[in-house]
Structure formats: C-alpha cells, structure tokens
Structure 1
Amino acid sequence: MTLIADPAAWAALATLIVLEVVLGIDNLVFISLLSNKLPEEQRIRVRRVGIGLALILRLVLLSAIAWIAGLVAPVVDFGITGAVGENGVPSFETAFSVRDLILIAGGLFLLWKATTEIHHSLDAETESGGDSGNLLDKKSAAALSFGAAIVQILLLDMVFSVDSILTAIGMTNDLPIMIVAVIVAVGVMLLAATPLAKFIERNPSVVMLALGFLLMIGAVLIADGFGVHVPKGYIYAAMAFSGGVEALNIASRKGRSKKRTH
C-alpha cells in the first residue's frame, strides 16, 4: 500500500516498463525469426513457449536478486599487460565477471546464428522437397526442429534475462515494482510476437534487416562483456532508422505493384 500511494514508485514503474519493453525487442526479433523456420502449426506454440520461458527465467532471477547482483563481481582475471589505452585508461577489461562471460557467450551465439542464417538466405542451392520419406520421419524431423528452436530460445532468454534484471536492479530497489514491470513487458512481447513474425514473413527483405540487427546486437554484447559499453540509445536509434527506411521501401514496392496491376 505504501508503494501504491507513492508517486515516485509509479514513475519508477512506468520508466522500468518502457526500458524492459525496449530491452525485450532483441529477444522478440530472435524468437520471431526462429519461429518462422518451423512448420506453420508449430509457430504460435514455440513463440508462446519461448516467451513463457523468458518470463519464468526473469521471475526466477528476481527471486535470487542478491545472487544476480553479485554476478558483476570479477571471477576471472587474466592480468594481460599492455591492455592500457591513452591516459592510462584500460582499453578493455582483463577481469571478467559471470555477467561478462554470459554476455560474451550470448554475443558469440548470436553472431554464429545470424551469420548461419544469412549464409542460408544467400545460398543459391535449395534443398529438394521430395516425398520419398515416410510420415514418421517427417514428424520426427518436425519434433527435432521444435526442440532445437526451444533450446536456442532458452539460451538467448538466459542472456537477455540477466541483462534485463540487472537493468531493473539499477533502476529501483523495490522488488514488487521489478516483478510488475517484468510481467507487463513480457505480456507486451507475447502480444507483439505473432504480428511481428507475420510481418517478417510477408516481407522477405525484412528478414535480412532483422538478421543484421542480430549481428549488431551480438557484437554489442561481446563488446559489453569486454568492458566496452555502447550506449543502448545509439543501437535502438540505428534500428529505428533502418526500420523506417525499410518501411519506406515496402510502401514504395506496394505503390509500384498497384500501378502495374492497374
């Protein structure tokens, strides 16, 4: 009741919800791209499962908030000499915390995944879709694809969840505010997942743009793990600008298509 009656608590909640929703964009783009590679009947289910896992992970991490706060303490120090830039300021970190290692691993995974998907998109060879396999083999392949998608989503959920919870800890000390903000942000992700995935599916050129976003996000995660902090505002401004340019391209293509039809 004290928090409900406190205007500062409401301001912190609103700010944290916006930040959590923005931080969830990266996760949402990855889930949308991955779900579109599954059979049609499995896509909605894998989105719901992936976003549900994101919510569970965030709530579990919030319940262990003291442990999460300790993830920023260095656990590995390589003590590399010569890692000093101008004015005696280190050019990159040589002591890494658990958070740093998680971010680096997640960034490398995103770079690998995005590069692999770009390679497949550019590859001129197409797989033959013959009907020689029996129905059981096809069902097994679909099940493996679903399982692989869930595992990959779970791995990225962990990376983005740690980043999300550490952001929440930096914004407020009130656990109820963090919990409400996380639940609202994940609810927004759940509502936006299917429309975003369908939009990407209808516009193939957006797929390459989204993969480019994942490459950039992966590089930023690795840089952050090495202590080179890139302001998130720059990243999301670049994504918004690229998205705006692509929206103009889509509108232009639709306009030309209508002219040809007439």
Structure 2
Amino acid sequence: MIPGVVLPLVLLAGALASYWAFLRGDFQSWPVVARWLCAGTRVRFFALWCVRALVLFGLVGVAGLVLAGHAGAIWTLPPDLAPARAIVFAWIGDGRDFPVGWMILALFGGGAIGGLVDRLRRGRKPWMFGDITRVMPRHRGELVWGAAMAIVAGTAEEIFFRLLVPLLVTLVTGEPLVGFAVAIALFAGAHRYQGWQGVTATAFVGLLLSVLYLMTGALWVAMLVHVVIDLNGLVLRPIMAGAGGVSSSAATRF
C-alpha cells in the first residue's frame, strides 16, 4: 500500500464508522444528555438528533480534516479537489459571482408557496418529495427545534458530506469525482427515513450543493443554501401551513 494513502484510508474508515453510528442510532440513546436537555418525547428526539449530528458529522468532520492536515479546507477549497472544480467550470462556468442572494429568496418563496398548499390541503399528507412529517414541527413550541435542526444539518452535514468524505476519498483514490459521488450517495442514504422519493430528492440536492461548492469554492455558500432549504421545510412551511397556531401543549409525542 502507498504510504501516503494509509492515513487518509484510516480516517475514511473512521468517518464511515461515524456515519454508520449515526444511521444505527435510535435517537433514544444518551439518556443523561436527553434528561439534561428536555423531557418531552418529540423534543427529546429533536435535541438528540442535534447532538448526534454535531458530534458524528460536525466534530468528526473537523477532527478528520485536522488529522489529515487540511484544517484550512473549511475556508479554502483544497487543491486536491481542484480537478473536479475545473470540470464544473468547463460545463457551467466560474461561479464566484453566483447570485446567492437571489437563490435564497427563490428558496424562501418556494417554501412559502409549499406551506400555503399544505394549508389548503389541511388534514391530508403534505405535498412533498419524500416523507419528512416525522421531523416537521407540529406546533409553535417545536419550531425552535426545527430551526436548530436546520442550522445543525446545514453546517455539520456540509463539513462531513461536502468536504471531509470527498477529500478523503480523493486522497485515497486520486479521483475527486469519485469522492463527490461517494459523498452524495452517503448523503442520500442518511435520509432513507424519507422513503425512496426522499432519498432520490436528497441525492439531487446533494449534487446541486456539491456543484455549488465547487463553483464558488466556498463551503459557507453550500452551508447557507443547505440551512435555507431545511428552514423552509422545518420552520417556514409549518408556519405557513398553520403549525404556529396550534397549542404548544398539543402533539407532544410521536
């Protein structure tokens, strides 16, 4: 085995183990943390999800980058991923002037429209790709947790799936496109609870976020877009659908 590949391979194995631990978690573990954070069953679920994502994706992601000697990759696109960026430039163009602000406004507009559609369809399953009803806030008391999950997912998952995994796979294989393909597949698999439609939609979102990251060379842009997408589904859409008007004592259990 090539000596320079040993460390990235070990780190990649550790990242995959962390990913597996997240998937296998039933969100009812870590009882001491759960008791400290909250008492309600659904709120406990939200809190544990945030803690697990922060540790298993965010903390592991940062630690992996530091151990690999690429801590600066959080702020600057690592040279190892430059070949993939060149391909994106060839197909789409330089994205350093990408209109992020307009994209954010469009996403919020789409979320508002989706919420209004849900309000009109009151009593029926929300219209969306994939089933995220399990994690959608049901009343105003849960909206803050929806926002927390959106922020945690948008930051921790981007560090893990848009940077750590693609970089480590690239260091092992020498192929950044393989690295991003593996990361997108893992990202989609982490959302398997949404059903096959949700997994497909998540894979598409993962592809778009990867392209956006490579276009702009800024991980924070992918983080911001990811946060906005999740805020749409976990905060704006429930508010527009009427979740904010439900009594905060209602629907406290799964």
Task: Report the TM-score, using the length of structure 1 for normalisation.
Answer: 0.31
Q: Which has the higher contact order (CA 8 A, sep 6+)?
A: 1
Task: Report the TM-score, using the length of structure 2 for normalisation.
Answer: 0.32
Larger radius of gyration: 1
